[in-house]
Amino acid sequence: MSAEPIEPDDQVEETGATGDSDVAMMGEGTASPRGRGRGRKRRTGARRAEPLLLEVSWETCNQVGGIYQVLRSKAPAMVDRWGGRYCMVGPYFPNKAAVEFEELSPTGSFGSIIRDLDALGIKAHYGRWLVTGRPHVILLDHLSVFSRLHEVKYQLWADHGISTPGDDELLNNCVAFGEALRQFLLLLGQKESGRRKVIVHIHEWMAGTCIPKLRKDDWPGAVVFTTHATMLGRYLAQNDDYFYRHLAYYDPEGEARKYLVEPQFRIERAAAHGAHVFSTVSEVTARECLHLLGRKVDAIVPNGLNIQRFERLHDLQNLHGQFKEQIHRFTMGHFFPSYSFDLDRTLYFFTSGRFEYKNKGMDLTVEALARLNHRLREIQSPMTVVCFLVTRRPFRSINVSALEGAAMLSELQTISDQIKDQVGQRLFEASAAGRIPDLNTVVDEYWLLRLRRTIHSWKRQMPPTIVTHDLHDDATDPLLNQLRTCRLWNQASDPVKVVYHPDFLTATNPLFGIDYDEFVRGCHLGVFPSYYEPWGYTPLESIAMGVPAVTSDLSGFGSYIRERFPKHDENGVMLLNRQSASYWEAADQLTNMMFRITQMSRRERIALRNTTEAFAVNFDWSSLVQHYHDAHEAAMSRI
């Protein structure tokens, strides 16, 4: 819904169809095409204008983690519901804004607020986020608050007992952003008080310092706060094998001090208690919030995807084949100098995500791969499994042997193309002359010699490396050390091969040359057996591209699947029991799931891919966004 532009300080009464508030409120002063012809508005004091929603995150136009994906993919559904009354707010980073932010000249109420902020010494930028839906965006330059950051931090301590050290760059930036946001919302509240309801929906502690301050200032709007994962929970789960059993018995403040996250914990707790509606993304995290933050969650807002962005049912199999060929090229360059295997009988598994070795279940994945390797060797399976472990770790450079393999493969391709063209042309000319040529004479000696030399240089005696880059901490990296301990060394006799790739995949990557989405489409199974995962986008992204996935019942996505889709296994989502099973039992389960994929026929795998992508429609924002709408309605009812 959208609206026709009016002066934002006037109240309105609608005549004709129901409409929204003014686009001038958003700062552009022009009506959206969707709002035209929906009814004339005239100035009056008879009725309040429609509510205004601002959604705030540190990751607005600033890709850091999974919340960026939540905001980006959800934007079209929010704009569809709120039209010109929806605006996103985030921090201003010039380099990132230059890529995905279109700055515009603000007019109307936002224009005056931005000028008032400027008078306070706070710079703000208005425009559109260049994603689907093109939502309105205000980016606040938090660095402009730094001249008085000491005053802001003192007030945070004096009024709310939140002490913030001076040497934490991220914490300082977040406190400054919270103050800039508070000043912006105070000015907006003054403009809109008595005219319309204003809802601000804040994600995560990085933008949360303003919430207790706004409540102290008696700000007239409604506040929704969503935590996607508690700061303390991440640390506890990573260091306690029995995190969920011990959850009710932790001393949160003591544990926060122990792990040096007390300021973040206090900000998060104050934000949770100060919000009119406190929400999180899953039932799993709701239990965590209750015990660690001390407030029961009011609403569950599960994460979805804009499935249309991935949906390609008409050519799903063609895309899989196309990108599988790209992965084949990497496989040949990486493995074939040492030994070769049948690519037609090769399956590609992968796991990916932020490097939280235990929380993301990487340890369990490696253990299950070792068991799968033993099982396939025992039955003398003709299948080969190549599993990619994709994450981000500090490295010096790409491994020399990996680069050499890719370069030599390109050289072989060039020579083969030249020989193919030469043979084809000379065979055609001889055939046209009515004779069958001696095939030994149709290729120049130069190309044959070059081919022999390249093949000789191509071969090596050592097995392929298990990591594609030279890591900074090769000797202590836990994932690399577990691969060594489990004897996953990429020997020729191993039916399971591993490729540890400690960097994200992009089209400019010299080893793969494809983006992450394309890489996923070329694979056969995504493996995400998380121990701690408040939601889990990676399995959802996997099934959206038709690739079956393993998730766990300790992830938000897994628990959501378990409760609502009893036949999930038939639809390409395999659910690992980690709540009640031991680590070793879970490893057996995961091994069985992987083994099942290796025993499927090609026809069965194609059918499963089709079923999997169709099933992913259940997680489109068009369905799941209603949880957000309900949270906003609940917040408005409380002011």
DSSP secondary structure of 561-610: HHHH-TTGGGGTEEEE--SSS-HHHHHHHHHHHHHHHHTS-HHHHHHHHH
User: What average pLDDT score do residues 316-322 get?
Assistant: 84
What are the residue boundaries of the structural domains of the chain, listed by start? 12-228, 307-397+465-617, 400-459
User: What average pLDDT score do residues 191-220 get?
Assistant: 94
User: What average pLDDT score do residues 213-233 get?
Assistant: 96
Distances from the Cα of 507 to the Cαs of 299, 403, 515, 518, in angstroms?
39, 16, 5, 9
The whole-model pTM stands at 0.83
Residue 426 pLDDT > 80, yes or no? no
For residue 70, the model assigns a pLDDT of 94
Residue 115 pLDDT > 80, yes or no? yes
User: What average pLDDT score do residues 22-33 get?
Assistant: 45
For residue 411, the model assigns a pLDDT of 78
Where residue 458 falls among pLDDT bands split at 50, 70, 90? confident
Rounded-to-integer distance, Cα 471 and Cα 407, Å = 21
For residue 10, the model assigns a pLDDT of 36
| Choice among 9-13, 315-319, 476-480 with the minimum mean pLDDT | 9-13
Rounded-to-integer distance, Cα 204 and Cα 442, Å = 68
* 260-308 residue pLDDT tens: 999 999 999 999 999 999 999 999 999 999 999 999 999 999 999 988 7
Residue with tokens 């992009």: 506
Measured torsion, CA atoms of residues 332, 334, 338, 343, in degrees rounded to the nearest 10? -30
Pairing of strands 384-390, 346-352: parallel
Rounded-to-integer distance, Cα 396 and Cα 502, Å = 11
* 522-562 residue pLDDT tens: 999 999 999 999 998 899 999 999 999 999 999 999 999 99
For residue 37, the model assigns a pLDDT of 36
Cβ pair 56, 64 in contact under 8 A: no
The CATH number given to 12-228 is 3.40.50.2000
Measured torsion, CA atoms of residues 149, 152, 154, 157, in degrees rounded to the nearest 10? -130
Rounded-to-integer distance, Cα 77 and Cα 621, Å = 6
Where residue 311 falls among pLDDT bands split at 50, 70, 90? low
Spatial neighbors of 478 by CB under 8 A, at least 6 apart, are: 357, 363
User: What average pLDDT score do residues 371-388 get?
Assistant: 97
* 69-99 residue pLDDT tens: 999 999 999 999 999 999 999 999 999 999 9
CA 170 to chain centre: 20
Rounded-to-integer distance, Cα 574 and Cα 528, Å = 10
Secondary element (H or E) of residue 273 = helix 262-274
Rounded-to-integer distance, Cα 270 and Cα 214, Å = 11
Residue 39 pLDDT > 60, yes or no? no
User: What average pLDDT score do residues 614-627 get?
Assistant: 94
| Choice among 263-267, 464-468, 506-510, 567-571 with the minimum mean pLDDT | 506-510
**Which CATH number, 3.40.50.720, 3.40.50.2000, 2.40.160.40, 3.30.450.20, labels domain 307-397+465-617?**
3.40.50.2000
User: What average pLDDT score do residues 152-166 get?
Assistant: 94
Residue 40 pLDDT > 60, yes or no? no
Domain pair 12-228 / 307-397+465-617, same fold: yes
Residue with tokens 């103050």: 179
Rounded-to-integer distance, Cα 12 and Cα 454, Å = 78
Please, what is the angle between helix 626-636 and helix 66-82, to 10°? 70
Residue 34 pLDDT > 60, yes or no? no
pLDDT above 90 coverage of the chain, percent: 74
